[in-house]
Amino acid sequence: MSPWIIWLIIACFFIVLEVFTSGFFVIWFGIAALFALIFSLVFPEVIIGQAIVWFIFSVILILLTKKFADKVTSSTTSTNVYSVIGKKANVIAEINGEKATGQIKVDGDIWAAKTEEFNEIIPVGTVVEILKIDGVKVVVKKIDEN
């Protein structure tokens, strides 16, 4: 089998493998294999040279595109969910620490709420302060009205 056919198979393998992986990384090995394929057309007998071309282009492509690949594959999403911490809210469904039930309304949004104290009950209409977020619930404390 001709060396260029082997490099074509290698290139196709890595390019197809990229489809099944996340990270935008494997594709550079496939593209480097295309450079080795071109080299093999010019120098079909120099197998070690073809492998060196593949290795060098793989390294160069990875180093040159690392920042771009990191930017493209970044999966962090910025949200303002923590902006509610410290705000005052109105209790719209009784907050029961023992049952871990309750709801508050803050900035027009309704949140599931719980208390820090296990046996604390905060009735509807009470104003509370949001202390932190725990999973999908806000942790609140009753505000002293004195």
Q: Does 67 share its domain with 12?
A: yes
pLDDT-based confidence at 74, cuts 50/70/90?
A: low
Q: Which domain holds residue 95?
A: 81-142
Q: Mean per-residue pLDDT for 117-138?
A: 91
Q: Does 9 share its domain with 31?
A: yes
Could you report the per-residue pLDDT of 17-63, keeping only the tens digit for each? 998 887 678 999 999 999 999 999 999 999 999 999 999 999 999 99
Q: Does 68 share its domain with 88?
A: no
Q: Does 85 share its domain with 69?
A: no
Q: Does 50 share its domain with 22?
A: yes
pLDDT exceeds cutoff 60 at 68:
yes
Could you report the per-residue pLDDT of 77-125, keeping only the tens digit for each? 556 788 899 999 999 999 998 888 999 999 899 999 999 888 899 999 9
Q: Does 108 share its domain with 60?
A: no
CATH code assigned at 117: 2.40.50.140
**What is the rounded distance in angstroms from the CA atom of residue 77 to the CA atom of residue 109?**
20
- pTM, two decimal places: 0.50
User: Taking the C-alpha atoms of 116, 122, 125 and 127 in order, what is their torsion angle to the nearest 10 degrees?
Assistant: -30
Domain count, the chain: 2
Find out whether 73 and 23 touch, Cβ atoms under 8 Å.
yes
Q: Does 62 share its domain with 115?
A: no
For strands 109-115 and 137-142, give the pairing.
parallel
